[in-house]
Chains A and B, each alone.
Chain A
């Protein structure tokens, strides 16, 4: 999130799109209700299902799954056509004025930008981005047109790009009635007025598509146009679906980054530390400090073994081979026998991964599998008869390590709003259950011992690692870990105050520069602070710690006009006091307060080299402007671009995996979307072992609209079989079963004159635990976004029929 949970109270209009906030983030409704109660804020829900958030919304916008880019593209066009954007903001704080290379173009038939070329290694297309660059003068300065009238300026190119996104077209694509579209656009655009704040909340209903990153980009574009970035009550707010998943991302749980959102080095491009620094460090913007953070990270990793002479151990850092190593790709490797063993830590891909049935099958190619979870989960039990497997045929050795639940251990957690808060232990874990930290510590110590004794391939990666987390009692000492992450001076071990103190020469160590300052003293570490704000705007600067630097709303320079006057004086975050000649703040400023306001106004988005918000971004793999592509499994052709199929840049991992032919579209005529319910959590392994929750949601069900149910002779509570192409093997169609939930909350969509039905399926069930049911993800395809490879869970095709 750019903002934070209790900042929602300042919103004027809140759009929940692709995120069922009342259901999956119930506490958000406390702040949304406060905004509605106190300032008459409006809540818009955009979702294929009339969900629990829609139930309490002011406006519900139904939408066919997989058409968010079209919906948001329509909003962009509406903003531009009606001149509803925040002009001063766009002029000063975005790249709307920038001129783009003359060769930049878009093919309206194929739906691709200039520079498209084949990418045989990925069985997809890719872009040469030469024509996507800013025009620069002889001094290297970007050419701009402050009037934004030049046909090559970003704003004009945008007008051209979105010409086709008329309300009539968007209605045909999304299936949402024109008047509802217009009503929602009109309402949200009221936040384009200076001083008003529009808030867009989203979750996996935006990201889990083959065009997920473009959906998020669309949100960013809308928020920049309406001047909602940096504002209290505004922002692009990704609501994270798991406790501390924000922290996990910050700590680089994904393969393409190392802690603090630095790119994982590539062997080909970055063979040396110098290569990495040269190629990955921009000349301007905050990231120009990257080398300091990387060297400090290497010092934290390798301790005294990291010296200037050995590039601070850079050679020991694992490098990427240029291939995708995300979830889908990793499982493909596993299917080909390329993976020997797997540690599945607090993860249950046998339920939560796409094409989960195949995953369970691939797991048998592993020599060993370690599962760390609170209960014995489906992944750890893939070999059992419950999974439909024959144990005699499987040689994989499986280890289950029982883990302590979150209330049974202490430590820091980062919430969606980037607040890192210490959580104290409430009770001891039962039996042999151990905290994740304890398990990690023991595992690593043993690995280090083995590599020291027996050697191995590049043993230095492990043996040279600085690993000293045991306390005096022989148990892991979490404070030692906190110190490492916060950063310290190598000379005397004293903690650094924050990342400004980090150095390139190896005199500082820091496990994650973004977290630096979160535990900068042992007496009263910021993450343990609990002092509510008495006056102010709800920033609560002395409550816990928000990264970076305890800043609650990022890009907050943009909350004031270039002269430093807040757009909304009722909730000012930063303001220039003319009389005293200095800035005053309600938040940690996200700019240099020592330069005059008109100077800092030139770079309000300090993380970007150009310092201004990107309406046009050459850094996205599948195009600088968000473009409507259908999902991989789509019931209809792309109305806007006749020759486009699904995202051309998205990697094609498997042949004959998604629905392509008309015959297949007839066989799988219904759009399937998966989701969560409040009573269960993720793959269900925690909640399906909790009787009170099982009582409320006892069985897997499938939501079907009344018309479709009548057509298929399905009644409430009937057993229904659901089929997809992923369950079609060797001419035989398999299915999963669920109970029917025939509901008025779903309605058929009219898509360009054709009636299409959507069915909804929660994905919480599996074959282990107290409450079992079919695995919904057996149906979903292993296709992903070209930037992140996040799987397309939210829109695929299926068939349903009554059983018995």
Chain B
């Protein structure tokens, strides 16, 4: 049960990207070098330094132009594919109901990224860790709203008590339907048993670049069913492996240093 969730009302998103900048600023994520490829959307991919971004999609159907924007990133699913895929149990649900990655346990196998139906998990090849939105857990436990929703000027991102947010979303969808948005809907209430990022969409999810029917991949479920009970053993094995690796590395470093000294 999630106590507090975040509404992402895509119909109110103006694409100002204050959320995107706020995420980088609060989490001190470095900027990366990008290039202009024909869309306002940038960076192109989620990565260890990009946890959230505004996704832009444009359409011209029979002369009716649409420019759809929405903040996207980790949805914090109840039925979280990443958690099921993780072989070391590094991914878990916090007491706040959000999905987090334990950096110490993460071995960088990238199974989570492959399993994520939203494709929002990045990978840091320098630290060999999976990285994603933390829902600003550090802010939540200190009584603050996530950085993205704090920065949003229009009310597209609203953080609050789950029941209130759901009812707000339902009202909004009714209003949008009345205004002629026949495909308006809530997204994230039933999908993957509910997400902590609850969307109001004025059109079909695919048009926003979101999967129409996000699910935990079948393979991930099978894998989890077979592999789940063995996880403890794996953690021990992996732990041993890491320790051995570290020891070995130290030996190598020491040998290198000695070799360098000798050469001097």
- The 0/1 profile, CB within 8 Å of B marked 1, for residues 35-60 of chain A is 00100000000000010111110101
Q: B38 CB to closest chain A CB, in angstroms?
A: 3
A739→B36 contact, CB < 8 A? yes
A670 at the interface (CB under 8 A from B): no
B18 touches A695 (CB 8 A): no
Q: Is B252 an interface residue (CB 8 A)?
A: no
B80 / chain A contacts, CB cutoff of 8 Å: none
Interface status of B161 (Cβ within 8 A of chain A): no
Contact size range, A: 35 or more
**For residue B178, which residue of chain A has the nearest CB?**
A40
CA–CA, A37 and B16, complex, Å = 20
Do the beta carbons of A53 and B58 come within 8 Å of each other? Answer: no
Contact A27 B153 (CB under 8 A): yes
Closest partner residue, chain B, to A56 (CB atom): B14
Residues of A within 8 Å of B42, CB to CB, are 695-698
Q: Which of B14, B15, B37 has the most CB of A within 10 A?
A: B14
Cβ–Cβ < 8 Å partners of B36 in chain A: 697-701, 717, 739, 741
CA distance A700 to B11 in the complex (A): 28
Nearest B-chain residue to A34, judged by Cβ: B155
Provide the residues of chain B in CB contact with A677, threshold 8 Å: 40
Q: Which residues of B in the span 165-183 have a Cβ within 8 Å of any Cβ on A?
A: 175, 179
Which residue from B14, B32, B179 sits with its C-beta under 8 Å from A22? B14
Q: Specify the chain B residue showing the minimal Cβ separation from A20.
A: B14
Decide: A692 near B65, CB < 8 A? Known: A679-B17, A701-B36: no
B68 contacts A by Cβ under 8 Å: yes
- Interface positions, chain B 18-72, Cβ under 8 Å from A, are 18, 20-21, 24-25, 30-40, 42-43, 58-60, 63, 65-69
What residues of chain A lie closer than 8 Å to B63, measured between beta carbons? 747
> Nearest chain-A residue to B54 (Cβ)?
A696
Q: How far is the CA of A717 from the CA of B59 in the complex (A)?
A: 18
Rounded to whole angstroms, the CA-CA distance of A678 and B69 in the bound complex is: 14
Min C-beta distance of B170 to chain A, whole Å: 14
Q: Is A232 at the interface (CB under 8 A from chain B)?
A: no
Residues of B within 8 A of A55 (CB): 14-15, 66-69
State whether the Cβ of A691 lies closer than 8 Å to any Cβ in chain B: yes
Do residues B67 and A33 form an inter-chain contact, with CB atoms below 8 A? no
Residue B12 at the A interface, CB < 8 A?
Answer: yes
Q: Interface 1/0s, chain A 685-699, versus B by CB < 8 A?
A: 000000111111111
B247 interface hit (Cβ, 8 Å): no
With the chains together, A58 CA to B179 CA distance in Å?
Answer: 9
B-side contacts of A716, CB under 8 Å: 37-39
Q: Which of A22, A52, A717, A743 contacts B37 (CB 8 A)?
A: A717
Interface residues of A in 52-77 (CB under 8 A from B): 52-56, 58, 60
Q: Is the C-beta of A240 less than 8 angstroms from some C-beta in chain B?
A: no
- CA A772 to CA B17, docked complex, whole Å: 21
Q: Does A290 contact B (CB under 8 A)?
A: no
Instruction: For B155, give its contact among A30, A715, A741, A742 (CB under 8 Å).
Output: A30
Which residues of A (706-760) have their CB < 8 Å from a CB of B?
A: 715-717, 739-745, 747
Is the C-beta of B154 less than 8 angstroms from some C-beta in chain A?
yes
* A740 & B38 in contact (Cβ 8 Å cutoff): yes
- Decide if A26 is an interface residue (CB 8 Å cutoff): yes
CA distance A404 to B98 in the complex (A): 41
Q: Does A23 contact B (CB under 8 A)?
A: yes
Asked whether B14 lies within 8 Å of A26 as measured between CB atoms, the reply is yes
Query: Chain A's nearest CB lies how many Å from the CB of B73?
Result: 15
Q: Are B16 and A692 in contact (CB under 8 A)?
A: no
* CA A54 to CA B175, docked complex, whole Å: 19
Chain B CB within 8 A of A400 CB: no
Nearest Cβ on chain A to B197's Cβ, whole angstroms: 20
Decide yes or no whether A29 CB sits under 8 A from chain B. yes
Distance in angstroms from B51 CB to nearest chain A CB is 13
Residues from chain A with a CB closer than 8 A to the CB of B175 are: 37
- Chain B residues lying within 8 Å of A22, measured Cβ to Cβ, are 14-16, 154
Q: Restricting to A660-693, which residues have a CB under 8 Å from any CB of B?
A: 677-679, 691-693
A211 CA / B155 CA spacing, docked (Å)? 37
Contact of B31 among A33, A58, A695, A744 (CB under 8 A): A695
**Cα distance A568–B25 in the bound complex, in angstroms:** 45
| Closest chain A residue to B16, Cβ basis | A26
- State how many angstroms separate the Cβ of A425 from the closest Cβ of chain B: 20
Q: How many A-B residue pairs have CB under 8 A?
A: 113
B17 adjacent to A696 (CB under 8 Å): yes
Q: How far is the CB of A203 from chain B (nearest CB, A)?
A: 15
- Smallest distance from the beta carbon of B101 to chain A beta carbons, Å? 23
Question: Which residues 97-126 in B have Cβ within 8 Å of A in the complex?
Answer: none
Given contacts A26-B154, A696-B20, A740-B38, contact A33 B12 (CB under 8 A): yes
Which listed residue (A54, A692, A744) contacts B60, Cβ 8 A? Answer: A744
Do B43 and A695 have beta carbons less than 8 Å apart?
yes
Find out whether the CB atom of B38 lies under 8 angstroms from the CB atom of A52.
no
Pick the contact of B67: A50, A693, A698 (CB < 8 A). Answer: A50
B38 in contact with A742 (CB, 8 Å):
yes
Closest residue of chain B to A695, judged by CB?
B31
Known: A695-B43, A743-B58, A745-B67. A56 touches B18 (CB 8 A): no
A22 CA / B33 CA spacing, docked (Å): 27
User: Is A698 in contact with B34, judged by CB distance below 8 angstroms?
Assistant: yes
A260 to B45 Cα, complex, angstroms: 52
How many whole Å from A214's CB to the nearest CB in chain B?
Answer: 29
* A-side contacts of B60, CB under 8 Å: 744, 747
Measured in the bound complex, the distance between the Cα atoms of B19 and A678 in whole Å is 13
Given A50-B65, A56-B11, A716-B37: A23 and B16 interface contact (C-beta under 8 Å): yes
A520-536 interface with B by 8 A CB criterion: none
CB distance from A634 to the nearest CB of B (A): 26
In Å, the complex CA distance between A739 and B36 comes to 7
Q: How far is the CB of A772 from chain B (nearest CB, A)?
A: 13
Question: What CA separation (Å) do A677 and B41 show in the bound complex?
Answer: 13
Task: Name the CB-closest residue of A to B63.
Answer: A747
The smallest beta-carbon distance between A709 and chain B, in angstroms, is 10
Contact B17 A744 (CB under 8 A): no
Point out the residues of chain A lying under 8 angstroms from B15, CB to CB.
Answer: 22, 52, 55, 678
Q: Kindly list chain A residues whose C-beta atoms are within 8 Å of the C-beta of B12.
A: 29, 33, 56
Q: Measured between C-beta atoms, what is the minimum distance from A125 to chain B in Å?
A: 41
Please state if B35 and A699 are interface contacts (CB–CB under 8 Å).
yes
Contacts of A29 in B (CB 8 A): 12, 14, 153-154
Interface bits B83-108 vs A (CB < 8 Å: 1, else 0)? 00000000000000000000000000
CB-CB < 8 A to A695: which residues of B?
Answer: 31-34, 42-43
Cα-based distance from A701 to B35 in the complex (angstroms): 10
A53 to B67, CA, bound (A): 10
Q: Is the CB of A744 within 8 A of B59?
A: yes
A26 contacts across to B, CB distance below 8 A: 14, 16, 18, 153-154
How far apart sit A506 and B134, CA to CA, in the bound complex (Å)?
65
CB-defined contacts of A50 to chain B, threshold 8 Å: 65, 67
| CA distance in complex: A418, B121 (Å) | 46
Contact yes or no, A52 B32, CB < 8 A: no
Which B-chain residue is minimally distant from A60 (CB atoms)?
B65
**A86 vs chain B, min Cβ distance (A):** 27
Q: Which residues of A contact B30 (CB under 8 A)?
A: 691
Contacts of B24 in A (CB 8 A): 692
**CA separation between A303 and B61, bound complex, in Å?**
68
A37→B175 CA distance, assembly (Å): 9
Contact of B58 among A56, A745, A747 (CB under 8 A): A745
Query: Chain B residues with Cβ under 8 A from A700's Cβ?
Result: 36
Interface centre among B42, B68, B175 (most CB of A within 10 A): B42
Are B67 and A741 in touch, CB under 8 angstroms?
no
The residues of A that contact B65 with a CB separation of less than 8 Å are: 50, 54, 60, 744-745, 747
Contacts of A741 in B (CB 8 A): 36, 38-39
| Residues of chain B with a CB closer than 8 A to A58's CB | 179
CB–CB B11/A694 < 8 A: no
Docked pose: A30 CA to B60 CA in angstroms: 27
Give A692 to B12 CA distance when docked, in angstroms.
Answer: 23
Name 8 A/B residue pairs within 8 A (Cβ), A-sorted.
A30-B154, A50-B65, A56-B13, A692-B25, A695-B34, A739-B35, A742-B38, A743-B58
Closest 5 CB pairs of A and B: A716-B38, A691-B31, A22-B14, A744-B60, A55-B67
